Amino acid sequence: MKKSILFLITLITLVSCGGDNKSVDAVIGSKDMAAVKEMRVELNKQQRELKADIDKLNAFIDENEKKERPILITAEVIKDSIFQHYVEVQGNVETDQNVVLNAEYSGVLTNVYVKEGQRVSKGQRLARIDDGGMGSQVAQQEAQLALAKTTFERQEKLWNQKIGSEIQFLQAKTNYEAAKNATQQMRSQLGKTVVTAPFSGVVDEIISDPGQVVIPGQTPIIRLVNLSDMYVKASIPETYLKNIKKGTQVKVNLASINEEFTGTVRQVSNYINPNNRSFDIQIEIPNKDGLVKPNLIATVKVNDYSAENTITVPENILQENAEGETIAYLYKTINDSVGVAKRIILVTGLSYENHTEVKSGLKKGDTIIKEGAKTLRDGQKVTIKN
């Protein structure tokens, strides 16, 4: 365009001067300095007038060319997709096999048979409390039980042979039953002096040391943990109760160990917490490497809505008009390089991770404008970036 303007200046100058080159030569040939300066002043004036006119022409050309210049955009052909919406909440890693074993018998802790970090089996002996002589009492009671049993068996034989009185038989039977019950009770009490593992796991902490006096229900002795049955517990707002059930897909992220798991809901609580209007869910998670520990914070994403063969668009291309309607722009081809933006009204659904489900207004195969959509107007010319 600049070359055209220069050509136009030259052309106008030649036309305005006509055959004035000879006049200039003639003036110069006359050697009349006053006439030469006068002609120079006149030609400078004409030049200034021409420049002002050319600037007006340039301004008009630039303004009109700018209006007609297509806007650069990016566009995408609409395809069917699967849309999934997740509700995101915080949860905690828990296990039902994380217990503190308390003393069940009052006395001095005499022995601890395990070390912290040691793996133990269900029923394995972990510690012992001084029985205070109860072992001897049990032995004495067992001797009395044996005597009562022998007496009852002999009396029973005599009774079966119709020898002796019924009272003798019933007394022997009663004494035997009483001795047996007393012995079982004492054995049970003596058994409480030995702390055993209620399940297989790892000794996480030894809380009480040998020589310490322990009291039933008050003195903790050992913490035992099993990390093989781990799960995440999270509270979900009650508004999602209808959409979440056993088997619902879930994503669990444990940021502290940089791990993410995909699983399903294994349990949905039947109770709504009145304090925060929520219900609890449990998600089982693997723990092959033993990195997952109780009380880790977890980010839980629960899939509460899914739709197949649906249309989704980037959330940032959607706009709202004065009537509150959601609008976007389609690309309609004019020729190989230029098209036009067509405004459309959409009915949208849920949004997740910067994508929104479109219920109506778009169909498969439409070309929707993405980058540049925010500055467009209906019918404006556009061109797609390479």
pLDDT (tens digit per residue) in 77-106: 999 999 999 999 999 999 888 899 999 999
pLDDT above 70: residue 244: yes
CA dist 257 and 250 (Å) reads 18
Write the Ramachandran bin of 379: left for phi over 0, alpha for psi from -120 to 50, otherwise beta. Answer: left
CA dist 22 and 100 (Å) reads 118
Residues in the chain: 386
pLDDT above 70: residue 7: no
Per-residue model confidence as pLDDT tens digits over 160-190? 888 878 888 888 889 989 989 988 988 888 8
Q: At a CB cut-off of 8 Å and minimum separation 6, what does 173 contact? A: 152, 155, 156
CB atoms inside a 10 Å sphere around CB 292: 22
Q: At a CB cut-off of 8 Å and minimum separation 6, what does 108 contact? A: 129, 130, 211, 212, 213, 214
Q: Which of 114, 103, 294 is nearest to 202 (CA)?
A: 114
CA dist 178 and 165 (Å) reads 20
Report the DSSP beta bridge partners of residue 72.
383
Instruction: Find tokens 């003393």 and name the residue.
Output: 103
DSSP, collapsed to helix, strand or coil, labels residue 312 as: strand
Task: Identify whether the C-beta of residue 85 lies closer than 8 Å to the C-beta of residue 350.
Answer: yes
CA dist 326 and 344 (Å) reads 9
Task: Identify whether the C-beta of residue 304 lies closer than 8 Å to the C-beta of residue 240.
Answer: yes
pLDDT of residue 1: 47
- 118: pLDDT confidence band, cut at 50, 70 and 90? very high
Q: Buried b / exposed e across 22-33, counting CB within 10 Å, b at 16+?
A: eeeeebeeeeee
pLDDT of residue 60: 80
DSSP, collapsed to helix, strand or coil, labels residue 314 as: strand
Task: Identify whether the C-beta of residue 356 lies closer than 8 Å to the C-beta of residue 328.
Answer: no
Total-model pTM: 0.58
Report the DSSP beta bridge partners of residue 214.
107
Parallel/antiparallel/unpaired status of strands 98-102 and 220-225: antiparallel
Per-residue model confidence as pLDDT tens digits over 331-384? 999 888 899 999 999 999 999 989 999 999 999 999 999 998 888 889 999 999
The mean-pLDDT minimum among 51-65, 79-93, 203-217 falls in 51-65
Question: Can you say how many angstroms the Cα of residue 239 is from the centroid of all Cα atoms in its chain?
Answer: 19
Per-residue model confidence as pLDDT tens digits over 272-330? 999 999 999 999 998 888 889 889 999 999 999 999 999 999 999 999 998 899 999 99
Residue 371 structure tokens: 């980058």
Task: Identify whether the C-beta of residue 234 lies closer than 8 Å to the C-beta of residue 90.
Answer: yes
Task: Identify whether the C-beta of residue 26 lies closer than 8 Å to the C-beta of residue 19.
Answer: no
Q: At a CB cut-off of 8 Å and minimum separation 6, what does 26 contact? A: none
Instruction: Find tokens 């019950």 and name the residue.
Output: 181
